[in-house]
């Protein structure tokens, strides 16, 4: 359904007039109300002061004795004259009694004759009523003025009241009050507002009518002609196009001239679309390649298993490529290096800076540099070749797995979490991000991890996750999720699940990276000769860890099969069996010095029924009982990892 621009313009102008008028009325009313209120206060004050002087000029004792006396009636006429002169509603004289919380009226007058007769009767000489003194009355009794009138609601209506003291021989003997009607105040405010607003609205409406006429002639009619010509141009695809006969020295004229040049531009534009489409396809392919390269350098998941530790890392980029990175690797002396970093910015630039930073750190740590020396060397190198002024926060650590000593250094990264019985945030020097200033002088720090403790490293993309209520995941929530975690992989997976449930489908705005390092300590190691005669000793060791229950016996069957395979195929002369128990997880590691032999991928002949008593019932049995099974060749040894859950089925 088409809409007329002229009609919409009229509606907009009418709405503008209505809004402007409403705002003007409000502001004018507020201003006039304040002004009228100020004048009313001045009238009330002046009327009260005049009445007080009139009372002080007569014989007060004679005034208070009888209504019939000439002095009383004369004074009342004087007050009534003052009441009318200052446009007051009431004037009244009374004596407060603070002890009994009451007041005694001397006289009351009103501007209106009918009201005057009523108040003369109801609030005349000697009338006593209960009354708690107001703040203004207390000031007046002490001989001071409060400074402003106050609003009072009584049986005679809403009024602005001013209180003035009446003196005799230097002492306050009575009070005089003057009331200015709030209804009169409102009427005068409305009248003042209308005097200002009505002419203004009339002028505004006239100006709008003139504007609408000019808009129709100078804008709407030319635009309509331009629209019709455009429709014709689309229909015949520019064939036989004639320039518009619009000669205006304004934006509409410029639009007409631009439209006249559009035909050739559209042809060029269509040609450019093909080029742009091809360019976008190429860019998308390059991003895909960059993402695969980055995943090769910083995989989404990495697990490192050692004799005295286990480590696991998880990374997710917010865009195709990101600036977060981690590194986790063993060095020659058996120590484990763990690094996590966060580069400023996102996208290709951050990814390139990340690769450069991570590569240099890896080389330094692999060469035996301490974490601080590695960060200082990388920082100096980045500062000399960093034209874009980028930087990265980095936390680097080296674990000595033999004694649990952790040497670490920080360059502006988030505080890690230490898990275990004494779970806590690791208090560290915040440091300075690498790439900002030369000679940052980053220092090494040391702590000793206890057996079972882990250090959790993370980027701010984890704590800055936002849910649909714009709440941050936060460091405290992260701490509560991982504080009791033991196994590194379990810690990272638990944190990822908690973060995903918290975000509940909200968009990820920052890169997400977590690295957990769990120090196991010296394990329970059993050294066996690779012969079937060693099976009873293996059985005793396994059941000592698992207990003599149904689950323990199944775990032993899997271990027996693994041990027999080693004895039968690896030609080893010694086997070490290590037991690591954490919560409900049991990890058993078989290490032998035989020839390279991978039982996970080996094609072992299936045994017949008559061969079962010799041990070894197939890898299928191990896979059915074990939760996980993996193999690696390290230091000229075959290492087979079996992981079991100790919960009963």
DSSP-derived letter for residue 406 is E
Q: What's the alpha-carbon Rg for the chain, to the nearest Å?
A: 47
Whole-number pLDDT of residue 155: 66
The pLDDT of 328-335, averaged and rounded, is: 88
pLDDT of 252 > 80? The answer is no
Contact 111, 88 (CB under 8 A): yes
Token match 């000697």: residue?
A: 126
Whole-number pLDDT of residue 392: 93
Token match 């860890």: residue?
A: 545
Whole-number pLDDT of residue 265: 62
Tell me the C-alpha distance between 74 and 76, whole Å.
5
- Under the banding of pLDDT at 50, 70 and 90, the label for residue 69 is confident
Whole-number pLDDT of residue 556: 94
pLDDT of 455 > 50? The answer is yes
pLDDT of 236 > 80? The answer is no
Instruction: Give residue-wise pLDDT tens across range 138-162.
Output: 888 887 776 667 777 766 667 878 8
What tokens does 613 get? 């008593």
**Which among 342, 335, 341, 343 has a CA at the least distance from the CA of 311?**
335
Burial class (CB in 10 A: 0-12, 13-18, 19+), 641: buried
What tokens does 139 get? 């000031």
Instruction: Give residue-wise pLDDT tens across range 276-324.
Output: 666 666 655 555 665 666 666 788 899 998 878 889 999 987 765 677 8
Instruction: Give residue-wise pLDDT tens across range 14-29.
Output: 887 788 778 877 877 7
Q: What is the CATH number of domain 524-645?
A: 3.30.565.10
Contact 217, 61 (CB under 8 A): no
Instruction: Express as a percent the part of the chain with pLDDT over 90.
Output: 28
Whole-number pLDDT of residue 229: 67
Token match 């951050």: residue?
A: 350
Instruction: Give residue-wise pLDDT tens across range 501-540.
Output: 998 877 767 788 999 999 987 667 788 889 989 999 999 9
Tell me the C-alpha distance between 575 and 531, whole Å.
10
Q: What is the H or E stretch that residue 637 is in?
A: strand 637-645
Token match 């944190």: residue?
A: 495
Tell me the C-alpha distance between 640 and 629, whole Å.
7
pLDDT of 49 > 50? The answer is yes
Tell me the C-alpha distance between 97 and 174, whole Å.
10
Tell me the C-alpha distance between 394 and 379, whole Å.
10
Instruction: Give residue-wise pLDDT tens across range 350-393.
Output: 888 888 899 999 999 999 999 999 999 999 999 988 878 889 99
More confident residue, 486 or 343: 343
Q: Domain limits of the chain?
A: 5-187, 301-519, 524-645
226: helix, strand or coil: helix
Instruction: Convert 567-601 to b/e letters by CB count within 10 Å (16 or more is b).
Output: bebbebeebbbbbbbbeebbbbbbbbbbeebebee
How many C-beta atoms surround the C-beta of residue 514 within 10 A? 27
Number of residues assigned to the chain? 649
Whole-number pLDDT of residue 616: 42
What tokens does 167 get? 């003196």
Most confident of 119-133, 212-226, 401-415, 577-591: 401-415
CATH topology of 301-519 equal to that of 524-645? no
What tokens does 31 get? 């201003």
What tokens does 338 get? 């763990």
- Under the banding of pLDDT at 50, 70 and 90, the label for residue 614 is very low
Tell me the C-alpha distance between 303 and 314, whole Å.
9
Q: Is the dihedral of CA 554, 558, 561, 564 positive or negative?
A: negative
- Under the banding of pLDDT at 50, 70 and 90, the label for residue 615 is very low
Specify the fold of 301-519. Phosphatase 2c; domain 1 (3.60.40)
Q: Which pTM does this prediction carry?
A: 0.46
User: DSSP string covering 301-338, please?
Assistant: EEEEE-SSEEEEEEEE-SSSS-SEEEEEEE-TTS-EEE
pLDDT of 613 > 50? The answer is no
How many C-beta atoms surround the C-beta of residue 636 within 10 A? 9
- Under the banding of pLDDT at 50, 70 and 90, the label for residue 339 is very high
Instruction: Give residue-wise pLDDT tens across range 157-208.
Output: 678 788 889 988 888 889 998 888 777 777 777 877 887 888 888 887 888 8
The pLDDT of 444-459, averaged and rounded, is: 92
What does the mean pLDDT of the chain come to? 82
- Under the banding of pLDDT at 50, 70 and 90, the label for residue 479 is very high
**368 HSE (CA, 13 A, CB side):** 2
pLDDT of 543 > 80? The answer is yes
Whole-number pLDDT of residue 295: 63
Instruction: Express as a percent the part of the chain with pLDDT over 70.
Output: 82
Specify the fold of 5-187. Beta-Lactamase (3.30.450)
The pLDDT of 337-349, averaged and rounded, is: 86
pLDDT of 617 > 70? The answer is no
Edge-to-edge strand ranges of the sheet holding 454-458: 301-305, 309-316, 512-519, 454-458, 417-418, 424-425
- Under the banding of pLDDT at 50, 70 and 90, the label for residue 4 is low
SS (H, E, C) 118-178: HHHHHCCCCCEEECCCCHHHHHHHCCCCCCCCEEEEECCEEEEEEEEEEEECCEEEEEEEE
Tell me the C-alpha distance between 233 and 240, whole Å.
9
Tell me the C-alpha distance between 454 and 484, whole Å.
9
List the single range of 62-66, 499-503, 613-617 with lowest mean pLDDT. Answer: 613-617
How many C-beta atoms surround the C-beta of residue 16 within 10 A? 12
Strands (E), 155-241: 157-168, 171-181
Edge-to-edge strand ranges of the sheet holding 405-411: 324-330, 336-343, 392-400, 405-411, 445-448
Tell me the C-alpha distance between 313 and 339, whole Å.
10
Burial class (CB in 10 A: 0-12, 13-18, 19+), 137: buried
């Amino acid at each position: 359904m088409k809409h007329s621009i002229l009609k919409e313009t009229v509606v907009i102008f009418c709405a503008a007039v209505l809004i402007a008028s409403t705002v003007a009325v409000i502001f004018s009313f507020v201003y006039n109300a304040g002004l009228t209120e100020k004048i009313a206060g001045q009238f009330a004050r002046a009327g009260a002061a005049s009445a007080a002087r009139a009372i002080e000029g007569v014989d007060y004792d004679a005034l208070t004795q009888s209504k019939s006396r000439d002095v009383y009636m004369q004074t009342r006429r004087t007050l009534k004259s003052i009441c009318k002169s200052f446009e007051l509603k009431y004037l009244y004289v009374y004596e407060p009694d603070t002890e009994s919380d009451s007041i005694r009226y001397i006289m009351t007058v009103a501007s209106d004759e009918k009201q005057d007769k009523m108040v003369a009767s109801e609030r005349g000489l000697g009338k006593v009523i209960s009354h708690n003194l107001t703040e203004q009355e207390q000031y007046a009794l002490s001989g001071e003025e409060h400074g402003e009138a106050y609003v009072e609601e009584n049986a005679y209506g809403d009024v602005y009241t001013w209180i003035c003291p009446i003196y005799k021989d230097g002492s306050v003997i009575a009070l005089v009050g003057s009331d200015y009607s709030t209804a009169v105040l409102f009427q005068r405010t409305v009248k003042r507002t209308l005097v200002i607003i009505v002419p203004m609205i009339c002028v505004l409406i006239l100006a709008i009518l003139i504007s609408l006429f000019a808009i129709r002639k100078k804008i709407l009619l030319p635009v309509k002609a331009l629209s019709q010509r455009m429709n014709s141009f689309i229909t015949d695809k520019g064939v036989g196009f004639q320039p518009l006969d619009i000669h205006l020295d304004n934006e509409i004229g410029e639009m007409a001239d631009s439209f006249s040049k559009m035909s050739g531009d559209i042809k060029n534009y269509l040609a450019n679309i093909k080029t742009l489409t091809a360019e976008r396809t190429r860019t998308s392919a390059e991003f895909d390649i960059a993402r695969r390269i980055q995943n090769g350098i910083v995989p989404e998941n990495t697990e490192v298993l050692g004799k005295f530790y286990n480590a696991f890392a998880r990374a997710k980029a917010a865009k195709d490529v990101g600036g977060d990175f981690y590194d986790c690797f063993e060095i020659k002396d058996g120590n484990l290096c763990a690094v996590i970093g966060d580069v400023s910015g996102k996208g290709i630039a951050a990814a390139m800076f990340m690769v450069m930073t991570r590569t240099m750190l890896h080389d330094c740590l692999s060469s035996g540099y301490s974490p601080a020396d590695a960060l200082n060397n990388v920082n100096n190198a980045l500062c000399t070749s960093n034209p874009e002024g980028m930087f990265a926060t980095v936390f680097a650590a080296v674990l000595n797995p033999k004694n649990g000593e952790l040497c670490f250094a920080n360059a502006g990264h988030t505080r890690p979490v230490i898990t275990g019985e004494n779970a806590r945030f690791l208090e560290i020097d915040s440091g300075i991000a690498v790439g900002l200033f030369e000679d940052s002088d980053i220092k090494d720090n040391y702590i000793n991890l206890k057996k079972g403790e882990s250090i959790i490293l993370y980027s701010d993309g984890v704590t800055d996750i936002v849910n649909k209520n714009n709440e941050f995941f936060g460091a405290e929530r992260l701490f509560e999720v991982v504080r009791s975690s033991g196994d590194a992989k379990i810690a990272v997976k638990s944190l990822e699940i908690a973060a995903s449930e918290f975000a509940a489908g909200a968009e990820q705005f920052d890169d997400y990276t977590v690295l957990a390092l769990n120090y196991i300590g010296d394990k329970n190691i059993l050294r066996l000769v690779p012969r079937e005669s060693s099976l009873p000793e293996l059985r005793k060791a396994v059941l000592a860890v698992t207990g003599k229950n149904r689950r323990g016996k199944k775990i032993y069957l899997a271990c027996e099969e693994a041990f027999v395979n080693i004895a039968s195929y690896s030609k080893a002369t010694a086997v070490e069996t290590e037991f690591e128990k954490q919560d409900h997880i049991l990890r058993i590691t078989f290490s032998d010095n035989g020839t390279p032999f991978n039982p996970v991928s080996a094609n072992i002949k299936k045994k017949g029924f008559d061969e079962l008593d010799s041990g070894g019932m197939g890898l299928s049995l191990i896979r059915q009982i074990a939760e996980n099974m993996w193999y690696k060749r390290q230091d000229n040894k075959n290492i087979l990892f079996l992981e079991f859950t100790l919960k009963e089925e």
